Structure 1
């Protein structure tokens, strides 16, 4: 398993080793030792989500206020573009995004640390996404950002009628959330990552 840090601090692309034979294939979709070595702390899994979406759907952008919800995202069927956005005020990459394709063919996974937002959209007629979450869903801490925010200009698939939830369609822009003081601070997120690493080191 190879785990590479992406251009936004706290985000990693995971490429597993796939073993194929005439029966099919086998792979580890998650390895705690490999994850801990790359990220600096283990992933504590409190909830596992499964989402099935059809082409045209956009799910996100979502994040959580600190203590947040780290996510480890895989695509079990079909293919998606997963777009992460750095919403941590004070971050050197604040407002920047990274888009990755996750699919049942490449078997890759995307890890997003607490404080990062993400959303995804199918690239195939249907897609099934499974993701591990470090905490359970907490509606009072949820942060929703307009996925069509023109200032973010995210590279969603085109050519299809867009399907968004009412909450996502009505979500404020990143600028509006920043002006209202509702975004996590980069310094606080870095302190949180250090806390997780210290806890892992001390047992």
Structure 2
């Protein structure tokens, strides 16, 4: 695991063992994760989505105490984009983009307080992600993935297909005016709480 250009976003590059039967890898290792991030990951929910080329899912986020996510793409390939929406963060409004797929079996971890979205790079892609908390509609919110100020590097080969909720989501500036974004200070306090082993 190595941290990317935004604090709390990590790329996981597992060792893959191929042979004549196929291949084997550890998709998730709690000891490796804990050493890299500073606390274990509680897995409360595992999600799976299948998306066609042209789809953009995101940008999705969860109000604190949030939902950390550990994302992999076992079939096909995606571009996953993490956006720092934590007000006061030194990288506020910045993004990192990684490609996850069946060829290299990389995965992505994003801490609570970060937003992300993804788009297939193949005709179809399956995404599986471990979540630290269960999802609820009251705790989730969206930021528009096509916000021109963010200028995110989505694939340009198809007209984007978004859900109605994602298409109607506010820009980052509008989300800030609405007061729905997490603060960097609150997120740092949350990470410290997790590292201390305090009750969730």
TM-score, normalisation: structure 2: 0.98
Once the two structures are superposed, the pairs formed by residues 25-174 of structure 1 within 5 Å of their partners are 25-174=23-172
Q: For residue 163 of structure 1, report the CA deviation from its aligned partner.
A: 0.7
Report SS of the residue matched to 2:109.
strand
RMSD over aligned CA atoms reads: 1.0
Which segment is superposed worse, 158-167 or 84-93? 158-167
Q: For residue 81 of structure 1, report the CA deviation from its aligned partner.
A: 0.1
Could you report, residue by residue, the CA deviation over 1:140-170 in whole angstroms, capped at 9, with x for unpaired residues?
1112010000000000000212110000000
- In the alignment, what sits opposite 2:183? 185
Report SS of the residue matched to 2:148.
coil
**Pairs aligned (count):** 199
Report SS of the residue matched to 2:55.
coil
Report SS of the residue matched to 1:100.
strand
Q: For residue 173 of structure 1, report the CA deviation from its aligned partner.
A: 0.5
* Aligned-partner Cα distance in 1 for 2:77–2:29: 22
Could you report, residue by residue, the CA deviation over 1:84-129 in whole angstroms, capped at 9, with x for unpaired residues?
0000000000000000000001100000000000000000000000
Structure 2: runs of 5+ lacking an equivalent: none
Report SS of the residue matched to 2:195.
helix
* Aligned-partner Cα distance in 1 for 2:187–2:62: 12
* Aligned-partner Cα distance in 2 for 1:125–1:6: 27
Extract structure 1 runs of 4+ deviating beyond 4 A: none
